[in-house]
Chain A
């Protein structure tokens, strides 16, 4: 198993009021940026990554979002490039570069090859489509998002493997002279891990490419369903999916006591997803989702993980936001925090509590990559580092032992797709549904 530490690098000084007034993180005015505090935050997160390496994490993972203060990773490759130089052993996992949003795959190919070269082959390159909001904040046409993603991805692989100069005339991208004078250190190129929030299209795409799929804090039941879908597709394609094909990212905050962890862990309310604290108009840009996904949404007026629902999309934005409603909103968010803990989508507690819950989760979904999603919100340097320390010293050794006993092979232990499956052979299970039943989740 590979164990990673992931953080969105939240802007920690941002006041609560403008976020509540905006009803979402996306779109909060950047007039609240404090240049000096921002410098403190960016530097702290780099130091924190070094500390993760020191306490025994196998990888540090970072990501990119735009136009909001819950993630300060506007240009993830810049931070990854610094990590390439200031860390020594850890894998640098980018989850991921939002290809359709960046709209310049040649540049991305060059940047990533540079990072892999400087780090002497420690890059794991993830790809994402960019959240709905990202399309607006980068003026990326959401109706071409999937097409641009697919085209950019293939173009980058070609950049990394084909001898130049060569000419490219695609549908969305055109380069008449492709000849990047940097190639990834790893041959032929770095591993690619794909994070997602349960889009079947993405899961099937990963299975076709033999890329590990990383569930981002997804509910355990639906996660099992989709991993079965991945494994079925893999079997169809002639290989047995195993733990090396799956990763799971879980919000975890560890402190000396359960009570303290619960309090500080409230920072998770300020994550991008679980609390459904997002504006509907930003969540579902036109053409971003497939026809099948829209049809499903149209027939199911209820909510989903990201808070998208037909009812919400149909709501008018003209309703005035009553300042007095903030208290009700806060209490709703806290309830959401408790609810996701019951569903084991957020884990907070002492090292003992956290270890037990993580192992229970791993038993069900059997991933080869386990990623700790560090706490969001205004949590101090000291409290953040304390969690890293406790995880490294007390939780990680126990989790590793459990993973070894359960044979949870990571993608660096065994290449995804390596175990072949003869046509007509029944595939082995990839999840443990009996263990899921035993958890008795709401």
Chain B
């Protein structure tokens, strides 16, 4: 079993809290808009051959909020500087949901710095058909439930089951507040992103686009729009899964990502 630890390092101008685990070529992991959910099966599987770097997003209750951050683009540049200051050589990046949006902004800003990007259920581009689900005008529980197709998924229960502690309640509210600060308007997309991604297309940055086949948070057209902007991207649909393919069908998810990263 891979070991993981939490550490705090002064990076990119702040004390960044980060989870690190595994060994091998670096894999930079960007969690979603509700915060880091703990070390899951997919982390364990990918950590067999990779060293995972999972920064806890500034403003999400652990890493101090950065008042200057207005957009996911700002967060992306912050993470690019974290990568530079850690001295990581061409790390692969994987981002989930709003974290996928951030990863796409990183790819647009500096594709040369990265080995590849994997965007899982990524927000960030406005779909022509359908809408990115509204996360703010609903309760935490409603949003979490909307994010999974299989509400009995074992790891979903592990992550969010049981009575919510006061501390978890606060962390969710921190996550929602910071997500609002940088993603309220336009709602979880950057109108320029399809054009900005031309840099990642020109440099032929390897890209994997992943979506659970029953994803209720981002419509299929989000993936189609990413594919239009990044013609080199590979597209994978994970069966029997909603927005959280990594926990709902972790077997299929892990093998798709491992295949791409190998």
Contact = CB atoms under 8 A, between A and B. Distances in A.
A143 B67 CA distance: 12
Given A141-B180, A141-B185, A316 B139 contact: yes
B177 A143 contact: yes
19 contacts: A136-B137, A139-B184, A142-B180, A143-B177, A143-B178, A281-B138, A282-B137, A285-B137, A286-B173, A286-B176, A287-B177, A287-B178, A294-B170, A295-B166, A298-B167, A298-B173, A316-B139, A317-B138, A318-B142
A326 interface: no
Interface of B: 136-142, 145, 164, 166-167, 169-170, 173, 176-181, 184-185
A141 B138 contact: no
Contacts of B138: 281, 317
A139 B139 CA distance: 17
Contact of B139 (A142, A294, A295, A314): A314
A78 B152 CA distance: 53
- Interface size class of chain A, counting residues whose CB lies under 8 Å from the partner chain: 20 to 34
Closest 8 CB pairs of A and B: A287-B177, A286-B176, A143-B180, A298-B166, A141-B184, A286-B180, A298-B169, A143-B181
B173 A315 contact: no
A174 B169 CA distance: 36
Contact of A281 (B137, B164, B178): B137
B58 to A, nearest CB: 14
A310 interface: yes
B142 A299 contact: no
A315 B139 contact: yes
Nearest to B165: A298
A315 B140 CA distance: 8
Contacts of A294: 169-170, 173
Nearest to B163: A314
Given A282-B137, A310-B169, A144 B181 contact: yes
A313 interface: yes
A282 B176 CA distance: 14
B137 A295 contact: no
Interface in A265-290: 280-282, 285-287
A286 B139 contact: no
Contacts of B176: 286-287
Contacts of B179: 286
Contact of B170 (A282, A295, A315, A316): A295
A299 B179 CA distance: 23
Nearest to A145: B180
A66 to B, nearest CB: 14
A314 B164 contact: yes
A313 B181 contact: no
Contacts of B139: 280-281, 313-317
Interface in A13-43: none
A316 B180 contact: no
A317 B166 CA distance: 21
Given A141-B185, A295-B170, A318-B145, A285 B180 contact: yes
A285 B169 contact: no
